[in-house]
Chains A and B, each alone.
Chain A
Amino acid sequence: MLNVTIDGKSIQVPEGTTVLRAAEQAGIKVPVLCDHPHLVPFGGCRLCVVEVEGMRTLQPACSLPVSNNMVVKTNSDKVQAARKFVLTLIFSDRNHFCPYCQVSGGDCELQNAALEMGMTHWDYQPNWKPYPVDASHPYLVIDHNRCILCRRCVRACGELVGNFTLGIEERGASSMLVCDLGVPFGESSCVSCGTCSQVCPTGAIIDRQSAYQGLEKKVERTPSICVGCSVGCGVEILTRDNRLVRILGLWDSPVNGGVLCKVGRFLPLDDDRERITRPMVRKDGKLQPVSWDEALNVITAQLKPLINQKTHGVAAIASPRLPVEALASFKKLFKDGFKSDLVTSLEEGATTTSASLVAQEMGAFETNLEALQSADCVVVVGADLYHEEQVVGFMIKRKLPANTALVVIDSADNEFTHLARATLNPVAGSESYVLRGLGAALVKLDLAKGTPAGMNAEAELKTAADKAGIRLEDLSRVASLIGMASRPVFVYGRKVNADTLKALVELSRLAGAGQSLIGVRGAANSLAAAQLGLEQPFKRNGHQAVYVALGDDQPSQRLVQEIEGVPFLVVQASHTSRLTAMADVVLPVEMWAETSGHYLNLEGRLQASTPALKPMEGVYSNTAAIEAVAMRLGIDVTVDWKAELQQSPAPVTLAIA
């Protein structure tokens, strides 16, 4: 521990602590612009300069490590004067016209810093050279007039997202923020995760959806979770007058640490589907608005006779975006109440059955996302992390500059391929042979850490080469990448069948990595749906009615076709769709931002979603709608959903408090 005295306050800090963090610890606020708690210190803006006893010049607090018995002054006249001067230079570097800037009035860290210094004006002229405004991006706008070259966006894009789209070209006064090698933002390699806009301290990167929708000071902020996929990223939902304004990544989230993908940040605000606000019943061939009472009467009359009709009753299918509470009641209603043999989720187990099968055999075999932080080799098998579970992709990509070896094993082309140290493209269906072959290669290279029982390495290698069409030298190259790594992590996706998954588990054991698998699973509550046994394929067969708890999900083409022609269809949904258009009864329910309930993410972490919006009167929660139907039918759907989730072995240890 080191002793340091800051503004007369003496504290102790561990070695390596910067003066800035030490000051924070002492409760002293040092203004910053380029520094950001989630990015590596850069020391570019010089706003954080402090006086250090014995040092001739002022020092940047953000990048100066504390040394023992250091004495620091953060607020002397000299420091104050220097800060004002720094701000004056920053203001006059480009063109800052606060009165018509979107972030003025509280949301601009530059303006806030000046106001805190009591600056009424700055003495120099703006640059007056017009800088370009790049509005070519679908979600973001870069106004170079307001860019202070703090490089927070550049660092976030690289350090947090691993995308390295943004950079700085030229030097000194000619420095410019550029996308890739100078292409328009909209034509760049940007994946629209929006992290840069979240860290930009000024109005230089603004997002179109929330621009001029109200100052962030005037919005309400609700910490919650994204239900866009099975990662379950923490979000902060900004609303104003019961309207979505902006979605930010929640810095404190243990899952994503502030980063989001396009699906979580921007797509929800693009949702322009028509909302369903009243129950509707088909009369004379047309859906007519009715009361809940009337809608429930119709459902009761039609469904009551189908109770206990195992194969000729009600087929029920629910969205894996519903909270666990709703899924558990749904299962209880249709599986236990109706005794239906077809109760499943919209995913029909596509992303979960392999893992469920393997878990039945060997119990929990996966680990959580944190493992990626220290991975020195990541093997991605049958997962498209460019389009799905994108934040997991970011967690991998950002490790690459630290020399983490990426291996992609996929029968199809994959956007990750060009980043990979090595790629194996097995013939579709032959993935398990490749994985066994890799295990054999590990043994042959003497890099295996486990003891393979009765393995014939040569034979396995030959099978892999023959069946998968992979050259032996490629197999052994990849095996040595995996074998040389001290902390390899294996990420697999929906394309992995149970056989392949078993081979993958074996491979990971040979690599000696303990539990080092991570499965990405599709929807926000896919794992919960799987734990509840809602993962069978949807084939309507003889069923006389279908009940779809669609929530705010989109029905697939296949589902619509499978359901078409059923004598009686009930859909509980928040938005109109082809499915609601076909329905005999439609029940209005909440969309994600109105939902209060629980989600089990891919790591088995139970998280709560907190409503940021109030639903319209008469719109029920998904759980309440299911309960209302059950009540009419005299079926009890109260259920201990936490216990229910833990009844079957899970692929990952469930963290259910």
Chain B
Amino acid sequence: MSKPKISTDWMCGCAGCHMSLLDIDERILKIAELADIRATPITDLKEPDESGVDVGILEGGINNTANEEVAHRMRKRCKILVALGDCAVFGGVPAMRNFFTLEETLKRAYIETESTDSEGKIPDNPELARMTRVRAVHEVVPVDIFVPGCPPDPDVIYYVLSELAQGRKPELKGELLHWH
């Protein structure tokens, strides 16, 4: 049997979940032994194989049309989709902006921030992705496994990866389940 293929991607998050993933330290070799690590933001390959992967992992929520594409692409190309971290699970810190309108948020970010000079301008290039409300991954595509945490603990991530790499469904409970 060939090793299961794992691919990851990130969207509206802070990269912290991927940092936490790297924090599993030398245990990543064990994962590499058990699984075929394919496209990730931290490897050379940038998009999951068109031929499909077994496990797709997404960090971050979905806050614009570009992220929507990433989520749909991953969902289409993977068998098991994992939402990694609080942003992917429910929107996380970026979702705080949902309390304001998109206009208010853009104005605050590009014009009103203390570090912006009088030239502040909201980018309007039509090629840019269109901003949306921040959504959890499962609001856009179906998710199979939720791994909460901000970020999830490396031990949790290692457990999830090693279970998936061995073809099992990770069950988070007890010490492995936390939301902070």
Contact = CB atoms under 8 A, between A and B. Distances in A.
Contacts of B111: none
A115 B96 CA distance: 23
A130 B96 CA distance: 10
B98 A128 contact: yes
A634 interface: no
A104 B148 CA distance: 13
B86 A120 contact: no
Contacts of B95: 97
A181 B86 CA distance: 38
A100 B180 CA distance: 8
Interface in A113-133: 114-115, 118, 120-123, 125-126, 128, 130
Contact of A99 (B99, B145, B171, B180): B180
Given A99-B86, A100-B93, A128 B180 contact: no
A88 to B, nearest CB: 12
A99 B179 contact: yes
Given A97-B95, A99-B86, A105 B180 contact: yes
A105 B178 contact: yes
Contacts of B148: 120-121
Contacts of A100: 93
Contacts of A111: 179
A98 interface: yes
Interface string A486-507: 0000000000000000000000
A582 to B, nearest CB: 51
Interface string A351-366: 0000000000000000
Interface residues of A, number: 20
A125 B179 CA distance: 16
Given A97-B95, A99-B93, A99-B150, A118 B177 contact: yes
Sorting the interface of chain B by its residue count into under 10, 10 to 19, 20 to 34 or 35 or more gives 20 to 34
Contacts of A120: 89, 145-148, 172, 177
Question: Could you say which of A100, A121, A122 has the most chain B C-beta atoms within 10 Å of its C-beta?
Answer: A121
Nearest to B99: A130
Contacts, number: 52
Nearest to A91: B90
Contact of B92 (A99, A101, A130): A99
Nearest to A130: B99
A95 B91 CA distance: 12
A128 B99 CA distance: 6
Contacts of B172: 118, 120
Nearest to A115: B177
Contacts of A128: 98-99
B173 interface: yes
Contacts of A98: 86, 150, 179-180
A115 B99 contact: no
Contacts of B98: 128
Contacts of B178: 105, 115
A101 B96 CA distance: 13
Interface in B68-108: 83, 86, 89-90, 92-93, 95-96, 98-99
Given A98-B179, A118-B177, A128-B99, 12 more contacts: A97-B92, A98-B86, A98-B180, A99-B92, A99-B93, A99-B179, A99-B180, A115-B178, A120-B89, A121-B83, A122-B90, A125-B139
21 contacts: A97-B92, A97-B96, A98-B150, A98-B179, A99-B180, A104-B180, A105-B178, A105-B180, A111-B179, A115-B177, A118-B177, A120-B145, A120-B172, A121-B136, A121-B138, A121-B146, A122-B90, A125-B139, A128-B98, A128-B99, A130-B99
Interface of B: 83, 86, 89-90, 92-93, 95-96, 98-99, 136, 138-139, 145-148, 150, 171-173, 177-180
Closest 10 CB pairs of A and B: A99-B150, A120-B146, A104-B180, A121-B146, A98-B179, A105-B180, A130-B99, A118-B173, A121-B89, A99-B86
